Structure 1
Amino acid sequence: MTTLTPATDDAVCAPRLTAADHAIGADAAEVVATTLKALADPLRLRMLSAIATTADGEACVCDLAELADVSQPTVSHHLKVLRDVGVLTSQRRGTWVWYRIAPDYRGAVTTLLDRFAPAALEHQRADRPPALTGLSDVEPELVRLAGSLAERVRGTDPADALRVVRESYTALARRGGMTAHLVPLTEHFARQRLVDAAAAHAAERADGGTSAAARPPQVLFVCVANAGRSQLAAALLRHYAGDRVVVRSAGSAPTGGVHAAVAPFLAELGLEPDPADAADAAAAVAYPKPLTDDALRAADVVVTMGCGDTCPVLPGKRYEDWTVGDPALASPSGVRAIRDELDVRVRALLTDLLPDLILPR
């Protein structure tokens, strides 16, 4: 005869979801794993990166054969693997086959190259600093900061300042990375947003005459992580133009810090900001920050680098898309080449914006 034992609290609680309920489905996992297996080859990843950053978004076998000392048939084999899983498409024109990233995979490839790959490299750095923690109760500090900004940014309502400060702190915290300097960075970011909002509001009220022409042009550089290309471009423009142009940079999905490969080149331009120094104006350029509507509305020129699909298009703005390689994944000489290419583009932009500006040779 079976003896019944009294039910415990755990026994009578509602059924819990199992691991299988939370996990990706078996069929979906098989498809994803097949695609990831196709990507899991160093040469294929380099080929994918090269195709993604060409000016016209395509490359042929002869172009990609330069990446490694392998034969063209070997290159064709690797490209076929990526094409078979749907990551690449191909088109024959004459005697050559041209490869492009499949439209359905463009966003995923951007995430892979601009977010996942740099994170994997950063994790392997032996000298990466330990994670730091911020304030346990940050609200009083944010309230104090909002009050200070409301006094310093003319025409700012205290309630708006507090809302922007809270939103800025949350947005920066979501990037990941170290949190020890979150409050000083929040001050930089929130002040920038309040200034941009005031500038956009003034521009909307202006009749397009003298008041609009008198203010310096504002340029916004946008990439995915705001940790490499957009940082370099902003630093170069700031270096050449000084305060004659208002420079902003932002990311559609900002990371926790500037890429290690980029930092030395920012230092060459005099940007070694201390994020704890709220008076350091350079720090407003050299830390990753989210793309905001305020920055877009205040900008006269918006330059995108690999995130054109996610950057909203507003009327009355000048938009340019610069297809430039990602320095986070490049060799030191590759980063230098990317920096030099950005230098040429920045100079051309400044020649158009400030015809009287004398640029060094």
Structure 2
Amino acid sequence: MNVTLNPDDTCSPVTSHAMGEDVASSVASTMKALSDPLRLRMLSAIASDPRGESCVCDLAELAEVSQPTVSHHLKVLKDVDVLTSERRGTWVWYKINPNRRRAVTTLLDSFAPATVAAPWADDAADEARRPDFDARVTHLADELAEEIPELDSATVLTIVRESYTALARTARVTSALIPLTERFARQRLSDLTRDRDTAVPQVLFVCVANAGRSQLAAALVNQIADGKIIARSAGSSPADVIHPHVRSLLTEIEGDEAAERFPKPLTDDAVRAADVVITMGCGDVCPIIPGVRYDDWAVGDPALASREGVEAIRDDITARVRTLVDDLLH
């Protein structure tokens, strides 16, 4: 068969934006080092360890392999600068290379969960994945504007539309979008109208996915402070659902109220409304607002931790929360 190509159909590939050969070679070497399942589990264990580091003797418990085998896998990760090590007496301790922490966090918090089917998520079929909710969003904005007359109706409409758009990016089931938008928008509007001089202290916890540790921290503050402190949480790159082990712990802490929790994106108004902003493994993502106190908690990440590991992370966060609450109330 003879095929005649139209001159306008000729292929003109653009390769100027492709990464260079040296960079591609370096990235490929790192990805090759990470391609072993046991190495990924070790990396996850180190990243989620509340101490910020793990010993060879701890990591040997991940699989039925000898300590020399564990040391070999760790050396591979160290050779590509993913890990650093320090010998103390008999044992060698490993931690994430600070220069690679953001890349490792992205891998564990975003890429890994995205490659695994989430059995805890609502898998209801919805052919119209993103239906037109404009009329419902506008109606919701009108209702909220009537409830908050001190804010201009145009401002309320903007907040509601932004809230809907932000949540729609990760929503799996569109039927829940409007109720979630209402709760998120109400929180943001409350932050906008907060009077720092008369309101109780407010704490904002920020992590990457807002699906684990920041949710736990906020729930624990609300439980321990008993209304004397308000706790919020947000994510620099929010997930679509809360981690299942964390969800069960939230239910133990909050009961039926835990069902109302969902990952939310970080907003400037949430930071401005906070008296204290605590980051949890998400780097320098928060805008610096004068008068706001900032802190970073190096706690484990429950993203790929076992049930027992998540409970240990909860206990670590609980101790930190008790100290924070005592500091803010006394």
Structure 2-normalised TM-score? 0.86
Does residue 109 of structure 2 align to residue 125 of structure 1?
A: no
Q: Does 1:349 align with 2:310?
A: no
Number of the residue aligned with 2:229: 245
By how many angstroms is 1:222 displaced?
A: 0.9
Equivalent residue number for residue 44 of structure 1? 39
Q: How many angstroms does 1:272 deviate by?
A: 3.8
| One-letter code aligned to 1:159 | A
Question: Percentage identity across aligned positions?
Answer: 58
| Alignment match, 1:277 | none
User: CA 1:335–1:138 in structure 2 vs 1: closer, same or farther (change >3 Å)?
Assistant: same
Aligned to 2:218: 234
Residue 208 of structure 1: aligned partner: none
SS in 2 for 1:254: coil
Contact 1:230 1:250 in 2 (8 A): yes
Counting only pairs closer than 5 Å after superposition, residues 252-331 of structure 1 correspond to structure 2 as 252-272=236-256, 283=260, 286-331=261-306
Q: Any idea what the Cα deviations from partners look like across 1:135-154, whole Å, max 9, x if unmatched?
A: 62211111111111112124
Residue matched to 2:177: 182
Give, in whole Å, the separation in 1 of the partners of 2:121 and 2:158.
Answer: 37
CA distance in 2, matches of 1:327, 1:173: 25
- Higher relative contact order by CA 8 Å / sep ≥ 6: 1 or 2? 2
Matches within 5 A, 1:51-66: 51-54=46-49, 57-66=52-61
Q: CA deviation at 1:112?
A: 0.9
Task: Please report how far the alpha carbon of residue 182 of structure 1 lies from its aligned counterpart in structure 2 after TM superposition.
Answer: 0.9
Return 5+ residue gaps in structure 2 as ranges: none
Q: How far apart, CA to CA, are the structure 2 residues paired with 1:59 and 1:126?
A: 30
Q: CA deviation at 1:252?
A: 0.6
Distance 1:267 1:58, change over 3 A: closer
* Residues in 1 aligned to 2:146 and 2:51: alpha-carbon distance in whole angstroms: 49
Question: Larger Cα Rg: Structure 1 or Structure 2?
Answer: 1
Q: Distance in 2 between matches of 1:351 and 1:191?
A: 28
8 Å CA contact 2:39, 2:74 repeated in 1? yes
The 3-state SS of whatever aligns with 2:211 is coil
Match of 1:165 in 2: 160
* Residue 223 (structure 1) aligned with residue 218 (structure 2): no
TM-score (norm 1): 0.80
Within 2, Cα distance between the matches of 1:155 and 1:217? 22
8 Å Cα contact 1:254-1:290 kept in structure 2: yes
Distance, in Å, in 1 between the alignment partners of 2:169 and 2:277 is 24
Q: Per the alignment, in what secondary structure is the counterpart of residue 243 of structure 2?
A: coil
Matches of 1:170 and 1:105, distance apart in 2: 31
Report how many residues are paired.
328
In 2 relative to 1, CA 175–243 (structure 1 residues): closer, same or farther, beyond 3 Å? same
